[in-house]
Homo-oligomer: A and B are copies of this chain.
Amino acid sequence: MLNSEQYEQLLKEMKSTVYIDGEQVPNYWLHPRMKPAFNLIKATYDMAQSPDLDGELHELMTMKSNITGEKINTFLNIHRSSNDLVKRMKLQRALMRFGAGCFGARCIFGAVANALWAVTYNLDKEGRTDYHERFKKFVARVQMQDLVVMADITDPKGDRSKPPHQQSDPDFYLRIVEKRPDGIVVNGAKFQQSGAPYAHELLVLPTTAMGPDDADYSVAFTVPSNAEGVFFVTDSTASHAKFEAMPLEDIGAGEYSMHESAHVFFENVFVPNEQIFLCGEWHVTRDLVQLFTDHQRLASSSCRMGYIDLCMGASQSMADYNGVAKVNHIKDKLIDMSISVESICAMITGAAMTPQITKSGCVAPNTMCINAAKLYMNDAVLKTAQKTMEIGGGILLTRPGTRDLANPKIGPLLRKYHQGRDGVTVDDRLKMARLAETLSGLACVTPILSVIAAAPPAVNRLQFRFQTDFERNVKAAKRLAGIAE
């Protein structure tokens, strides 16, 4: 397994094409906007190596591969049991509690790889393909080389009311533009790809269930991040600005706490046959999407448990520093947070323990349970952010920065007046206020991201529309009402 220097070295050697703010940037991972997530990905390598950073995470970060039999990073595992799924939950909760930020979307490989594993297995049983064997080799290589692989899913979509083949521009969904004996050429883009530029390999697949007229859009494959025709454009939204305009120490959890994503372009990229895992078989896309969203909802909900843990810690600390730790409504709000996080924990555990068992032997979280968890998490995270702000108070919005504190005239006065209860240093109070600012969503996107990642609630709800056994309940009601069938 790699250490964090080796991970960085690999990135260096690949020289992928990344644009930031309209400029191509060579060592892009060191750019202020890119560094926090990079730091946290490095931490995942360091944690796998030694317990120094965090003992609990050291345990959670590795496991034995059921393909190679070797020790691998947990993020690269094909899940064979409920316990594997529970380990994922624990890993992501603890890692978010550690860094308060996205670990470069390392989670997404697990979602996509497990889904492709199961779907290619079934597809090959139809007798016309050998995708599963190809994919198995790919996963084995990734595990052995200990790579970062990002999944690329979300197409630009154009008019959201229309399927791919009815769009005014055929490229609005990534598609096969040419089939050759030795491979295919694809063209298109994938948007909102969390962590994409930090990856060594990209694993591309369709964003939604396709119909028969969308066969050219039903494609899954892998390419290295530096493949010809692939380039990245990082997002340029307001939440990034602080990393460029502020001293790092003025940003709560500034070392890690940022979510970075990119637009990934595929300009007539050639994909050799052995890297193709789906090529026109639109009839399996529904299952594929169902499986990877189920996995990703586990990932996304697990992370936010760690986020709520941290909000509890920061809120309780701020209350303590302000001298109001014993106030009833504050204690109530902390209990509310605990109920929220344990409710999510219970639901994810329920999802993991009553899994979908695929024919390939790999497991996925129970669909109904995990969708319920995700919907509950959406609200829980926003309520927690709000409570964190209520407890933290105005200082989260109005605190002075290190430059202010360094001024000999105003610095001492700012210190004098930002004192909380006796026995707490001003520096500690300001540090915790910064962290609380970040957690509350005033300076990071976690709360809102939680709602829209792994599909927004409206999509989530569809699972219940399609999978609920409404008929069983109608029958029970009719019987009890005395109505003949």
Q: Do A480 and B100 form a contact, CB below 8 Å, given A171-B417, A236-B403, A346-B366?
A: yes
A280 at interface, CB cutoff 8 A: no
Chain B residues with CB under 8 A of A238: 242, 246, 250-252, 437-438, 442-443
Establish whether residues A158 and B419, one from each chain, have CB atoms under 8 Å apart when the complex forms.
yes
Contact with B along A369-398 (1 / 0, CB 8 A): 111110110000010011001100111111
A180 at interface, CB cutoff 8 A: no
Q: What is the CB-to-nearest-CB distance from A195 to chain B, in angstroms, rounded to a whole number?
A: 12
Which residue in chain B gives the minimum CB-CB distance to A435?
B481
Chain B residues with CB under 8 A of A324: 160-161
A263 at interface, CB cutoff 8 A: yes
Those of A403-442 within 8 Å (CB) of chain B: 403-407, 409-411, 413-414, 416-422, 428, 431-432, 434-435, 437-438, 440-442
Q: Do A323 and B398 form a contact, CB below 8 Å, given A169-B419, A435-B481?
A: no
Establish whether residues B386 and A451, one from each chain, have CB atoms under 8 Å apart when the complex forms.
yes
B156, B339, B400, B411: the one contacting A418 at CB < 8 Å is: B156
Please measure, in the bound complex, the distance between the C-alpha atom of A438 and the C-alpha atom of B475, giving whole angstroms: 17
Q: What is the CB-to-nearest-CB distance from A107 to chain B, in angstroms, rounded to a whole number?
A: 17
Establish whether residues B245 and A474, one from each chain, have CB atoms under 8 Å apart when the complex forms.
no
Copies assembled: 4
Establish whether residues B335 and A465, one from each chain, have CB atoms under 8 Å apart when the complex forms.
yes
A interface, how many residues as a size bin? Answer: 35 or more
Query: Which of the candidate stretches A8-16, A60-68, A287-295, A309-317 sits at the interface with the other chain?
Result: A309-317
Chain B residues with CB under 8 A of A458: 329, 390
Chain B residues with CB under 8 A of A348: 346, 350
Those of A92-124 within 8 Å (CB) of chain B: 97-100
Chain B residues with CB under 8 A of A30: none
Which residue in chain B gives the minimum CB-CB distance to A262?
B398
Extra contacts besides A312-B474, A339-B372, A346-B369 (15): CB < 8 Å: A159-B323, A162-B323, A237-B397, A238-B438, A238-B443, A240-B245, A265-B413, A346-B366, A346-B372, A349-B369, A350-B350, A382-B386, A390-B451, A390-B452, A393-B452
Greatest chain B CB density within 10 A among A21, A100, A401, A451 is at A21
Please measure, in the bound complex, the distance between the C-alpha atom of A245 and the C-alpha atom of B404, giving whole angstroms: 19
Contact with B along A454-470 (1 / 0, CB 8 A): 00111001001100101
B322, B410, B449: the one contacting A19 at CB < 8 Å is: B410
A-B contact pairs, 18 of them (CB 8 A): A82-B353, A156-B419, A160-B420, A169-B419, A189-B417, A231-B410, A236-B404, A238-B438, A249-B482, A309-B476, A314-B477, A339-B375, A343-B372, A343-B375, A345-B372, A349-B350, A350-B353, A434-B481
Chain B residues with CB under 8 A of A434: 481
Establish whether residues B480 and A253, one from each chain, have CB atoms under 8 Å apart when the complex forms.
yes
Chain B residues with CB under 8 A of A449: 397
Q: Do A477 and B313 form a contact, CB below 8 Å, given A348-B350, A400-B233?
A: yes
Establish whether residues B339 and A349, one from each chain, have CB atoms under 8 Å apart when the complex forms.
no
A73 at interface, CB cutoff 8 A: no
Chain B residues with CB under 8 A of A403: 21-23, 236
A77 at interface, CB cutoff 8 A: no
Establish whether residues A416 and B169, one from each chain, have CB atoms under 8 Å apart when the complex forms.
yes
Establish whether residues B236 and A401, one from each chain, have CB atoms under 8 Å apart when the complex forms.
yes
Q: What is the CB-to-nearest-CB distance from A367 to chain B, in angstroms, rounded to a whole number?
A: 9
A261 at interface, CB cutoff 8 A: yes
A273 at interface, CB cutoff 8 A: no
A478 at interface, CB cutoff 8 A: yes
Please measure, in the bound complex, the distance between the C-alpha atom of A347 and the C-alpha atom of B245, giving whole angstroms: 42
Chain B residues with CB under 8 A of A407: 19, 22-23
